[in-house]
Amino acid sequence: MTKRKADPVAWELKWIDQRTGKELGKSIHAAAKPWDDNIFAAAIEQFYTLNGPTAVADFLSTRLRHPSPPRALLNLVARLLDPQDNFSFKLVVERRRSGKSWTKHVNDAAIAEAILRSQQKLGRKRLSKKEVGDIADQFEISDAKVRKVKSQIRK
């Protein structure tokens, strides 16, 4: 009977606390580079266990802002957003708090631009009821909404 030699592990990955140098979590054994999505998933899973969801969100957002993040990281984020198989994590998109939405910000800015264009065209600050109505019809909103946005424009 012959003994088979096990393939040597090319990489052993482990989270290490930069302040103390203490090893955290279990080792992740990777056969070779480039690492596949599963290696990144295992690393994120341990990072989550060690530091919690806020740290994972910060870590991922920082890495995704790089000019060219690794393809495996992009695949991992896609996999987290749309988990298939028996993947143990998923990203959940939720609104942090109530308040003015981005859609409302963008729409109000467009209405304000239309108001300012109309004022410049007429050469005066005051708009007549007809002009307010025209802007309201253009954006399919009420006259009151146009007046409200006009009152919020910085003088």
Label the pairing between strands 11-16 and 23-30.
antiparallel
Same domain membership, residue 108 and residue 74: no
Indicate whether 4 belongs to any domain: no
Would you place residue 9 in the very low, low, confident or very high pLDDT band (cuts 50, 70, 90)?
low
Q: What pLDDT does residue 155 have?
A: 61
Task: Tell me the percentage of the chain whose pLDDT exceeds 90.
Answer: 18
Consecutive H or E run containing 117: helix 102-122
Would you place residue 110 in the very low, low, confident or very high pLDDT band (cuts 50, 70, 90)?
very high
Say whether pLDDT at 136 is over 90.
yes
Indicate whether 15 belongs to any domain: yes
Indicate whether 17 belongs to any domain: yes
Same domain membership, residue 73 and residue 15: yes
Distances in Å between the Cα of 85 and the Cα atoms of 31, 35, 36, 47, 54 are 23, 20, 16, 21, 25
Would you place residue 134 in the very low, low, confident or very high pLDDT band (cuts 50, 70, 90)?
very high
Indicate whether 2 belongs to any domain: no
Same domain membership, residue 23 and residue 63: yes
Indicate whether 27 belongs to any domain: yes
Report the predicted TM-score, pTM, of the whole model to 2 decimal places: 0.52
Same domain membership, residue 74 and residue 106: no
Same domain membership, residue 60 and residue 22: yes
Same domain membership, residue 77 and residue 15: yes
* 10-14, 72-76, 126-130, 132-136: least confident range: 10-14
CA atoms within 13 A on the CB side of 94: 6
* Domain-ending residue, one of 81, 110, 136: 81
Q: How many domains does the chain have?
A: 2
Indicate whether 19 belongs to any domain: yes
Structural domain of residue 115, as residue ranges? Answer: 102-152
Q: Are 53 and 46 in contact (CB under 8 A)?
A: no
